[in-house]
Structure 1
């Protein structure tokens, strides 16, 4: 089963995203806090991370930098979710090593399209245990 970590400060978005992923057979970890998200990643080793950029405690850029500097987390596909689609935002994420972007609001086709493009095809589709 594929494990997805959602780091999103909006409860509504976080819960909706978690439900979409769970219905597709994912095991979902979710938090609204970047620091807690990093701790969850270290203990649970998710297969993919979906992270908001603008959060009140630690922004998504900082979370991504921490992932890329950690040998255990550095290769996990990391997808930014953002309401901002300015080229400077995308450029910053690319510079830090983001693997993809979802521009809010997005639908399930966009969500699973970006996830599918980043996961190992040998592990897709997820098997429900």
Structure 2
């Protein structure tokens, strides 16, 4: 009986220690990603409340490029954010083909910035 209990305790200890332990760098990366998702939630809400989804989808091309494709093309630098904010507000053409992006002059610069930051946060 003692041998059975000892074997059970040893196997329980091995099972408890057998899981992979997260490294501090991995934990920080996940925390940063979670914080970024919360921070950019406003951008997602603004996109949902606008007409953006008429032409854009997150994961697939529609009339305009998928948001993940935009995120892959542009680094999240202030210069790129400013460029994309101007495209949201003023429209644009030629970067993703011949179909013009409709201008959205009623979207404030602050809201457009939140939307662009959300889109760029989708970079893998």
Same fold per TM (> 0.5)? no
TM-score by structure 2 length? 0.30
Answer with 1 or 2: which has the greater Rg: 2
Q: Which has the higher helix share?
A: 2
